[in-house]
Amino acid sequence: MMSPGLVLLSDQMALERSLDVVANNIANSNTTGFKREAMQFDTVLSNLGGGASSTAPISFVYDRATYRDMKPGAISNTGNPLDLAIQGDGYFQVQTPQGKQYTRDGAFQIDNQGQIVTASGLPILSDSGQPIIIPDQSTDLTISGDGTVSVQNGTVTSRTILGKVGVVEFANNQALSPTGAGLYTTTQAPTPAAANNVIVEGALEQSNVQPVVEITDLIKIQRAYEQATNMISNENTRLDNAIDKLSQTS
């Protein structure tokens, strides 16, 4: 007799999780390089309450996983030579206190030690795994499509190459775990990004979240949750009435 209520409860739990995911997408609709997330649901079959003679298993809702939508976001020109966007797959390498992590947020700057760093001050790594340092008195900083960083030093006519921004990719993007501030970590070994993945200087990749779509999904989830709540209330009323009638006849 409890089966309908348990099924509806599993539905509510999945809807709550989905609500959290959609709300997080909306909150990050303006976050540079953010990739929207979505829920993947599944069905779990059970013979709960049916005993050995049951021939119709009960279907419970199960939130199997959260997956990341890897479609690229729009690239917006900023004119800042330290703003970088990756056109194609790949991630910038970042040195953190917890080890090497990865990001698509290319809003970089130069710290007081001359290092190219993220907005939170973490060093960006070159393709050789080292921080990229811009010498004092350098001018005309340029980062080419393949990540090569070069500057003009004083009156010297030739440009000085300081290294190459490291861009890497992974066999399974879904296996990257977010750690906050646009960073991801993974146990996978990175490989150099394919040659057709280009760094765009003076631009940032916007979030691929479509706010109108997410808000529409949010409304649908809220209505489905309310419907499940009403059905649970009706089921509880039905059970109370059944118990009351049975107690009167016994």
Domain ranges of the chain: 3-70+209-249, 75-205
State the pLDDT at residue 13: 84
Residue 211 sits at the vertex; the CA angle it makes with 210 and 215, to the nearest 5 degrees, is 125
State the pLDDT at residue 117: 98
State the pLDDT at residue 81: 95
Q: Hunting for tokens 């080890």 — which residue is that?
A: 99
State the pLDDT at residue 1: 41
Q: Hunting for tokens 């039905």 — which residue is that?
A: 238
User: Which of 58, 62, 36 minimizes the C-alpha distance to 178?
Assistant: 36
State the pLDDT at residue 8: 76
State the pLDDT at residue 244: 76
Q: Could you tell me the pTM of the whole model?
A: 0.82
Q: What is the 3-state secondary structure (H, E, C) of the chain?
A: CCHHHHHHHHHHHHHHHHHHHHHHHHHCCCCCCCCCEEEEEEEEEECCCCCCCCCCCEEEEEEEEEEECCCCCCEEECCCCCEEEEECCCEEEEEECCEEEEECCCECEECCCCEEECCCCCEEEECCCCECECCCCEEEEEECCCCEEEEEECCCCCCEEEEEECEEECCCHHHCEEEECCEEECCCCCEECCCCCEEEECEEECCCCCHHHHHHHHHHHHHHHHHHHHHHHHHHHHHHHHHHHHHHHC
State the pLDDT at residue 231: 81
CA distance 44 to 61: 6
CA distance 200 to 86: 6
What CA dihedral angle connects 69, 81, 181 and 129, to 10 degrees?
A: 90
Compute mean pLDDT per 10 residues along the chain, 250 residues long, and list them: 67 88 95 93 58 58 81 96 96 97 97 96 96 92 96 82 96 95 96 93 97 95 88 77 72
State the pLDDT at residue 46: 58
